[in-house]
Amino acid sequence: MAVDLMSSGRDLPEALLRELEELAVTAATAAGRFIVDERPRGMGVLDTKSSVNDIVTVMDQESELLLRHVLLGARPDDAVLGEEDGASAGTSGITWVIDPIDGTVNYLYGIPAYCVSVAAVIGDAGTPGQWQPVAGAICNPITGEVFHARRGGGAYLLMGDEDAGIRVNAVDNLLQSLVATGFGYVPEVRARQGEVLRAMLPDIRDIRRAGSAALDLCAVACGRVDAYYESGLNPWDLAAGWIIALEAGAQVTGLNGIPPGQPAVVAAGPGIHASLLGRLEALAPLR
């Protein structure tokens, strides 16, 4: 039996949603400061993931430990699903889905397009299509930007003492749309994604590839790009950016009626989402 996740999210008390959003901001900001302030001068590669180009640094692991300490220190009954240390159980019905450094390659090279992503979700975060984010925050520690949102509360960009609402662009023509995307690390996957991109280029204004899925979703939310699509995302890549983009007015879906996840994520304002989705479905699979 399908779970009505959208309805479940709306049933959460406003006070709880606000608490989760504020804690996400606190945790993401603390970890963001940490990965900048404690970044080793000669930082090296600790391990690899899906291929030799997909790195894990010591700082990924240390940042995740900090996030778990902050989140579970405030809400010890919650579960956590992290990129580095996997899942820990909880009893509250809330799971924190965390990415201690999204854009790790950028971080390694010193490119200022990486972030910390923290989201509170409901449902089974380990099962595709059976979870949804209800609050989240994404901190770009280099720019000092913290994007955040909660279900039904709108999306915001916090910089210093200024916390301003953000909204997707109102573009309604795909040909005039600036579109962000990303690529996997496995050569065969990258080759297929390149084919999709080549087919897409004549139908859009231009493409941008920043190297962080979380920041790409925030870019849609605040109008720095008009749309974003990618395949191969894990829950920690997607969760916080999903709720931020959604609350900024974006439609966030997968392909062919399935929820956003590993097969595909498509995020865009309502003026171009349908046309972008249709074009991508015609080119599927994306990976």
Q: At what angle do helices 213-222 and 235-247 cross, to 10 degrees?
A: 0
Query: What pTM does this model have?
Result: 0.92
By residue count, the chain amounts to 287
CA angle 42, 27, 156 (to 5 degrees): 110
Angle in degrees, CA 172, 280, 81, rounded to 5: 100
Separation CA 5–CA 34 (nearest Å): 34
Give the closest residue to 17 by CA, choosing from 26, 29, 7, 9: 9
Band the pLDDT of 46: cuts 50, 70, 90.
low
Tens digits of residue pLDDT in 48-60: 555 544 556 788 9
Is residue 1's pLDDT more than 60? no
The predicted-structure confidence for 63-74, as pLDDT tens digits, reads as follows 999 999 999 999
Mean local confidence (pLDDT), 171-176: 97
- Residue 30 half-sphere exposure toward CB, CA atoms < 13 A: 17
- Average pLDDT for 235-261: 97
Name which of 147-151, 180-184, 190-194, 283-287 the model is least confident about: 283-287
Distance in angstroms (rounded) separating the CA atoms of residues 63 and 85: 11
| pLDDT tens-digit map of 182-234 | 998 889 989 999 999 999 999 999 999 999 999 999 999 999 999 999 999 99
CA angle, residues 30, 36, 37, in degrees to nearest 5: 85
Q: Is the pLDDT of residue 95 over 60?
A: yes
How high is the pLDDT of residue 6? 43
Mean of the per-residue pLDDT values of the chain? 91
Residue 2: its pLDDT value, please?
Answer: 33
Name the pLDDT band for 38 (thresholds 50, 70, 90).
Answer: confident
Task: Give the chain's largest Cα–Cα span.
Answer: 52
Q: Look at strands 55-56 and 47-48 and give their pairing.
A: antiparallel
Domains of the chain: 5-165 (3.30.540.10), 174-283 (3.40.190.80)
Q: Identify the band that residue 240 occupies on the pLDDT scale cut at 50, 70 and 90.
A: very high
Residue 231: DSSP 8-state? S
219, 248 Cβ separation under 8 angstroms: no
